[in-house]
Structures are given as C-alpha cells and as structure tokens.
Amino acid sequence: MFEISVLVSGSGSTLDNLAFHCYDELEGVMRGMATITSVFADRNCGALEVADGWGIPKFVLDTKSILKKAGNVDLCVLAGFLSKIYVPPEMEGKILNIHPSLLPKYGGKGMYGRKVHQAVKESGDSITGCTVHVVDNEYDHGEIVDQELIPIMPEQSADDLEMAVKKLEQQLYPKAILNFLSKQPK
C-alpha cells in the first residue's frame, strides 16, 4: 500500500476527491493501492474539516515544519496548497501538484484559481485543461507527469472554464498519482 500525505490551504475539494478515490468501495480508482496517512495545512481552512470527515489525522503547521513531517511517505500531494515550497533534497521527485492550465502556459507566482481561467479566456486560446507535475523550487515548473485537455467554446466564461477544468482535475489527479507511484521503486 502506497502512503500519501496531502498538503492543503483551501476548501479541500481536491482532498475530498482523493480520499474518495482511496476509500470508495465501488468507484475508488486508488482503493486498496494508496492511503492518505496525514493532511497538513499551512493555515486554518475548510480542508481540515474534510480531513476530519474522512477520519484522516490533520496538522496545522508552518511550511518548513510541514516538509519535515510530511516527507516520511511514498508521495506528498499538493491539493490547493498555496505556500511556496523549497524542496528538501530527500523529497526531490516525491511531491506532485495539479495546476488548472496546460502548463507551461498560465503558471507561475500568483497564477491560481480564477486568475488562471481569466487569463486563458482573454488569450483567445481554443483549448485548456489541467496539468499534474513534479514540484521543484519554481512555481508550477517541475517535470510534467500528465495533462488532460478540453476545448474552449466561445460562449464559455472564465467561471465556466473553472468549473469544467475542476471536473477534469478530479478525474486526472487520482489516476496520475497512481500511475506515478506505480513507476517508483518501492
């Protein structure tokens, strides 16, 4: 069984989806293969209640302490974690993030949530999507592990894009995590 720690700062919808896919008996794509051992938050946030709901131990700590405590697993997964991370050498290649655009486009400092989708909408691009990538010391920069694409219809607003990409993220992240883990030496 792969052990995962999840790092959060926000509402916890990504955490909720990952826990669902670890534990749901019928639809969990990671069920029996991965378990979330702890949730770490850098602030008080809704995701802590989500952790409680799934009975997962949770900790609120500063980012440095989180990285010290969270690394003792097969994989650390960022799920709406907003603080800057400096990856300790022992955790290189062991942290994944999901970003709501087709990186390397629309990533970097300050590019999160609605801002990403507004930039995509203003660009006139005809496709958008989401990216799972390895976390390194630059925002939204590490090796791309997986991406999922959708077309942009002219009538879609930034809000519509946010909703559509969120749905896509929920499908992609559990699959990409499992795929990534299965390629790691155990």
- Residue 80 sits in the site that holds ligand GRF (CB under 6 A): yes
Which of 10, 129, 142, 174 binds ligand GRF (CB under 6 A)? It is 10
Binding segment for ligand GRF among 9-17, 51-59, 143-151, 174-182 (CB under 6 A)? 9-17
> CA–CA separation, 52 vs 157, rounded Å?
34
- In DSSP terms, which residues pair with 95 in a beta bridge? 76
> Total binding residues for ligand GRF by CB under 6 A?
14
- Residue 47 sits in the site that holds ligand GRF (CB under 6 A): yes
- Please return the burial class of 146, using the count of CB atoms within 10 Å of its CB with bins 0-12, 13-18 and 19+: middle
Has 99 been annotated as catalytic? yes
> CA–CA separation, 129 vs 150, rounded Å?
6
Q: Which of 10/174 has CB closer to ligand GRF?
A: 10
Which of 4, 6, 14, 73 binds ligand GRF (CB under 6 A)? It is 14
> CA–CA separation, 55 vs 78, rounded Å?
19
> CA–CA separation, 18 vs 21, rounded Å?
5
Lookup result for tokens 């694409």: 149
Closest alpha carbon to 81 in 35, 140, 126, 127:
140
Helices (H) and strands (E) in the chain, counts: 5, 7
Q: Which of 99, 117, 133, 141 is catalytic?
A: 99
> CA–CA separation, 97 vs 145, rounded Å?
10
Give SS3 for 140: coil
Q: Which of 6/34 has CB closer to ligand GRF?
A: 6
- Residue 141 sits in the site that holds ligand GRF (CB under 6 A): no
Which of 169, 176, 180, 181 binds ligand GRF (CB under 6 A)? It is 169
Binding segment for ligand GRF among 28-36, 55-63, 98-106, 133-141 (CB under 6 A)? 98-106
- Residue 142 sits in the site that holds ligand GRF (CB under 6 A): no
- Residue 79 sits in the site that holds ligand GRF (CB under 6 A): yes
- Which residues are at the interface with ligand GRF (CB under 6 A)? 10-15, 47, 79-80, 98-100, 166, 169
Catalytic residues: 99
